[in-house]
Structures are given as structure tokens and as C-alpha cells.
Chains A and B, each alone.
Chain A
Amino acid sequence: MLKYFGSRLLTFLPTFIGVTLISFAFIRVLPGDPIIVMAGERGLTEARYAELMTQFGFDQPIYVQYWDYFIGVLQGDLGQSFVTKKPVWDEFFSLFPATLELSICAMIFAVLLGLPAGIIAAVNRGKFLDRALMSTALVGYSMPIFWWALLLIIVFSGNLNWTPVSGRIDLIYYFPSASGFILIDSLASGQKGAFLSAVRHLILPTLVLGTIPLAVIARQTRSAMLEVLGEDYIRTARAKGLTPARINGIHALRNALIPVITVIGLSVGTLLAGAILTETIFSWPGIGKWMVDSIFRRDYPVVQGGLLLIAVMVMVVNLTVDVLYGVINPKIRKR
């Protein structure tokens, strides 16, 4: 087990260094002198230029610059935003709870619907229900979610006037943000209206962000279930006279869940990519919108730092999934 964990960690480290190299290279491969780009249209004097060169360390040899950057990264120093002048690290972690909350809700939505859909489809293999569910799943899988978001806005916000179009909560409510999760904070504040408002703001983004994971989970659950249902021990269980509910629910589902859980774990990257579009459309103040805004504002330290933090987060989650998978399934460890 330790050996397995060690070997996973050994592949993690070079990838981590590679990711820092890419984010380091980002500012340096931009066309033009980064200092001139930072100064923008106002321009700057010779003296200020030299000062900035020293401040950002651009006068050092490239490997020294990288080394300083790498040490900085390890200490949580990702530079400052051009626009807000705040450290990138602090900005990231003040916005991250919004994205995390949205992603968790989207994942819960996807699992709650996707898992039963996949099981029902597998049990009714080839019948109408199976085909209907899997066709729907394929439509969901093919969905351009930015368009899906606009459609939902037309129907639920425009025609029915049920849900708000943007933000996390109506501005009339105020309460201290202790956890950063607006559902928890608004509930803790004791204002009933605030909690309901937060829920209503959350519904459409959750639906949009959860759509593709939902489709993936439904398809994956179905195929995992079908594979397991063909195994000998299922036939044995049937021969023993167990009820179909017990066979499907206990014998089959438990074993089918392993690949499904992997898929859930590995869809963190998909969720973050989806968050970029979802947050932009719903003006959700999370890291996806923050990244897009920063790209448009040419706030390069933010783009650089955000890129690195997101990649590291995806890697950590993937590593965790890998290790957990090894814990659950001894066959994997041997590889």
C-alpha cells in the first residue's frame, strides 16, 4: 500500500513542477514586454521602468526568475493583482467558496438523478425506458451549457419570473460571511428570506453546471451495472432466489459503484471548466468568472496564479481519487 502511494506521489511531483513551469512561462511568452503591457496606454518613464524591472525580477537570468517564482509558489506567494493590488492567493481563496458551493450542489444534483437513471436503464435494458433515459442522457452530454443556461433564463426568469438572473443573493440582505458558503451563512443569520433568496439564486446555475456530469454519471452507471449484472455471482444470487431488488440494489450496485465513483472524482476538471461558463452567464462571483474577467482585464498575475492553483487542485483531487481507488480495489495496487 505504501509503495503504491509512493509511486503515485512520484508521478505527482514532476507534474507539479511542470505545471509551475507552464504558469511561469505564461507571462513571459506574452507578446511584448510584460512591463510595457502592465503600464498600459499611459506609458511610463525610464526610471520607473527600471524600478519595475527590478521589482518583478525581470533583470535576472531566466532560471533565477523561475527559482524565485517556484519558492514563492511553495510559500503561497503568487504575486499581486494589477487591478485590485491584493495578493492573488487571498483573492483566490476568498472567491473559491462560491465556486465550491456551486460545484457541490451541481454534483449532488447530478448524482441524485444520474445514479437512479443509470440503474433503471440497466435493469430495463433494451426496453423503452432504457432508450428514453439514454437518449436524454446523450442530449445532456451533447449540450452546449452556455446555451442551456440562456434557455433556462428565458423560461424560468423571463416567462415565469421564478428565479433571479444573476448573483448569489438579493442585495437587500446582509449578514456576516463566516464560512463563505452562502447557504450556510444565510441560514445561520436566522433570516428566512435570505436563505430562500440564496436558494433561488442557486437553482439555475446548479442545473446548468450539473447537466453534463449528470449525463456522464447516468451513462457510466448504466454500463457499469450491465457489466456487473453479467457476472457469475449475480447468476448465483438469482439462483438462490433473492429478490430482484436485493440483487440489483445490493449485489450489483455496490460493485458497479467503483467506476462510478471514479468518474465522479475525475469530473472535478469538467466542473471547473463548466464553472467558467456558468459563472460568467449568471454573474456568480467565483473563480471561473474571476479568471475570465482577469483575462479580459489583462490582469496577468491573476491569470497566472489562478491557472496554477486550479491545476494543482485538479491534480490533488485526481491523486486522492487514485489513492482511494487503490484502497478500495487491491487489483490496482499491483500495477
Chain B
Amino acid sequence: MTQTPASEIAETEERPGRLKEFWFYFRENRGAVFGLYIFVVFAFCAAFAPLLSLYDPTEQFRQFTLLPPAWQEGGDWQFPLGTDPLGRDMLSRLVEGSRYSFFVGIVVVTIAASGGILVGLIAGFAPKWLDSIIMRIMDIILAFPSLLLALVLVAILGPSLTNAMIAIAIVLQPHYVRLTRASVMSERQKDYVTSARVVGAGLGRLMFVTVLPNCLAPIIVQAALSFSTAILDAAALGFLGMGAQPPTPEWGTMLAEAREFILRAWWVVTFPGLAILVTVLAINLMGDGLRDALDPKLKRS
């Protein structure tokens, strides 16, 4: 997701107007622009969490446990969104939690995408037997429901946020392999690739310089979608006790800690989940916009 601007800028240098064209189509989708705004706020929170939060996210105010949000009776503006069962400020924890989700998204997408693109390129250019072996391995990974495989991988590696990220990246990677391979297969037969080969471009150059840039559009859309999947899965693993461990203010982990209080204190359950939903929704909105802007079939030009 975050790689988008970088690659777009790189392309503008050689072909001015691309970024502008992209923005023109992206802007037409109002939902996507709205999603982008929310995402910017989310990224801002993640970047400046220590400055934005009122308190240390792990600081316990023992005299103020389970304080409701400020606007409710019994609330206190000292803690705008209330406090959790241990008297920690909800708002500070939520803001700090955005860092973990953002981090998870970036790391997982980077690992899954770079690995998947590389393997996909190899599969696309490789002789048939190697291609078959690679694709069968991807089929095997895809045969397991993703959350289950991630759960089992974390059980092997030991529960922690790092291991959860590794597990999710492994589970998401086959989608990039398939996508890249499919695009490479269709691009490879085109004339410009043949002419590059005739001119004497080596295999590495053909793969990364000639073909890859033309396969990027669907991969960028996939990156946006898996950014949100990564956040959701990491939160689900945290919720099951297999992701970030308490007292880390990761949103899924916060929900797991709050579970026993659901009937007594709605705010400790509602806000972390709302944070996950809004973030994921914003990214999915952007993903839809990206697809519309990058998919040449839908352009009416």
C-alpha cells in the first residue's frame, strides 16, 4: 500500500502525468478518497502516537478502574474514552495500538509481496516442471484455511506479534505468487518482451525491468487488500491469545482482555473493535478506488 506513492513517483520521472492520471481516476471514487483521509489520520496516529496520547498506555490509575467515557454519567474528561479494568486510559491505548496495526500491515505486506513477486516471476519465466512444482506448493498452502494455518504456525513458533506477522505473511504470500505469475504469463508473449529479448536483454533484466512494471497494477491492488487482511488476522490472533501478548495495547489483544467485562463495561469492548473496523474499512475503500483507477478495462478514455 505504502509502496504505491514511491513506485508511482518513480514512474512519473520517465512518463510525466501518470501520477496525475492515476489521481484523476482515483478522485472520481468518493468512497476511496474518504478512505484515504481516514488512512492518513490512522498513519498520523501511528507516526506520532507518543505525542498524541495523554498518558503512558501501560500506566495504571488504580483509583479510576472501568471509568465510562467522559460523556456518560460517572465519566471524567481526564479520560475521554474511559479506562479499562486496570485503570489504563482507553484513548492512549487505542492511539498506541494504531502503531502495532500499521506496523503489522507494512511488515506483512512487504514480506508477502516481495517474496510472492519474486517467486511468481520465477514461476512465470521458469521451465514448465519448475513452474508446476512452485504452483503445487502454493496450492498446498492455500488448501489450509488461512487463519488456521497462521494459528498452527504461531503454535509452533510461540505466541508473539513477530511470529504472528511471519505466519500471516506466509499465508498471504501465495496470492501474490499466483497474481504475478498470471500477469507474467500474459505479458511474456507480447511483442515488446520479444524485442527486448532480441536486443539481448538478460533474464534478470527481462524479469525485473521489462515485464515486472507492467504487472504491477493488480499487485498494488492486492497489496491494499492484504494490508487490511493482515490487520484483521493479526487482531484475530491477538484475540485468540496467539498474537501480541498483554499488556501490549494491540487492538485484538485489548479485545481479548476486555471479553469478561462485555456486559458491565461496553466501552472497553466497543472502541478497540471500532478502531479495527474503521481502519480496515478505510483501507478496503482505498483498495476499491485503486482497482478502479489502475484497471485499464474500466477506464473510458
Q: Which residues of A contact B (CB under 8 A)?
A: 11, 14-15, 18-19, 22, 26, 29-31, 135, 138-139, 141-144, 146-148, 150-151, 153-154, 157-158, 269-270, 272-273, 276-277, 280, 291-292, 295-296, 303, 307, 310-312, 314-315, 318
Whether the pair B255, A150 counts as a contact (CB closer than 8 A) is yes
Contacts of B156 in A (CB 8 A): 26, 29-31
Contacting residues of chain B (235-273) with chain A, CB-CB under 8 angstroms: 235-236, 239-242, 252, 255, 259, 262-263, 266, 269-270, 272-273
A65 to chain B, nearest CB (A): 18
| Given A22-B140, A151-B270, A311-B144, also A280-B240 (CB < 8 A) | yes
20 CB < 8 A contacts A-B: A11-B136, A15-B136, A15-B140, A22-B144, A138-B281, A141-B284, A142-B232, A142-B281, A144-B276, A144-B277, A148-B273, A269-B145, A272-B145, A273-B146, A276-B145, A276-B147, A277-B147, A291-B148, A295-B242, A307-B148
Complex CA–CA separation, A215 to B276 (angstroms): 17
B8 to chain A, nearest CB (A): 24
**B109 contacts the other chain (Cβ, under 8 Å)?**
no
Whether the pair B273, A150 counts as a contact (CB closer than 8 A) is yes
Complex CA–CA separation, A154 to B236 (angstroms): 19
A239 to chain B, nearest CB (A): 24
Partner of B262, one of A143, A144, A154, A291: A154
Complex CA–CA separation, A139 to B281 (angstroms): 6
Complex CA–CA separation, A158 to B270 (angstroms): 14
* Closest 9 A/B residue pairs (Cβ): A147-B273, A18-B140, A273-B145, A273-B147, A142-B281, A142-B280, A269-B145, A158-B263, A311-B143
**B126 contacts the other chain (Cβ, under 8 Å)?**
no
Complex CA–CA separation, A154 to B255 (angstroms): 14
| Given A138-B285, A154-B269, A314-B144, also A147-B255 (CB < 8 A) | yes
Contacts of B285 in A (CB 8 A): 138
B269 to chain A, nearest CB (A): 5
Interface of B is mostly: helix
- Who on chain A is nearest to B144 by CB? A311
**B228 contacts the other chain (Cβ, under 8 Å)?**
yes
Contacts of B263 in A (CB 8 A): 153-154, 157-158
**B151 contacts the other chain (Cβ, under 8 Å)?**
yes
| Given A158-B263, A277-B239, A292-B240, also A147-B276 (CB < 8 A) | yes
Interface of A is mostly: helix
Complex CA–CA separation, A273 to B148 (angstroms): 6
Partner of A146, one of B136, B137, B236, B281: B236
Whether the pair A18, B144 counts as a contact (CB closer than 8 A) is no
Contacts of A26 in B (CB 8 A): 152, 156
B2 to chain A, nearest CB (A): 19
**B31 contacts the other chain (Cβ, under 8 Å)?**
yes
- Who on chain A is nearest to B238 by CB? A146
Complex CA–CA separation, A295 to B147 (angstroms): 13
Contacting residues of chain B (208-250) with chain A, CB-CB under 8 angstroms: 228, 232, 235-236, 239-242
Contacts of B241 in A (CB 8 A): 296
Partner of A150, one of B228, B236, B269, B277: B269
Residue of A142, A269, A270 contacting most chain B CB atoms (<10 Å):
A142
**B59 contacts the other chain (Cβ, under 8 Å)?**
no
Contacts of B155 in A (CB 8 A): 295, 303
Contacts of B273 in A (CB 8 A): 144, 146-148, 150-151
A314 to chain B, nearest CB (A): 6
Complex CA–CA separation, A292 to B150 (angstroms): 12
Partner of B269, one of A14, A143, A151: A151
Complex CA–CA separation, A6 to B145 (angstroms): 25
Contacts of B242 in A (CB 8 A): 295
Contacts of A311 in B (CB 8 A): 143-144
B107 to chain A, nearest CB (A): 19
A267 to chain B, nearest CB (A): 10
| Given A18-B136, A280-B240, also A307-B144 (CB < 8 A) | yes
- Who on chain B is nearest to A30 by CB? B156
Contacts of A143 in B (CB 8 A): 277
**B28 contacts the other chain (Cβ, under 8 Å)?**
no
A168 to chain B, nearest CB (A): 20
Contacts of A310 in B (CB 8 A): 144-145, 148
Whether the pair A269, B146 counts as a contact (CB closer than 8 A) is yes
- Who on chain A is nearest to B251 by CB? A144
Complex CA–CA separation, A269 to B175 (angstroms): 15
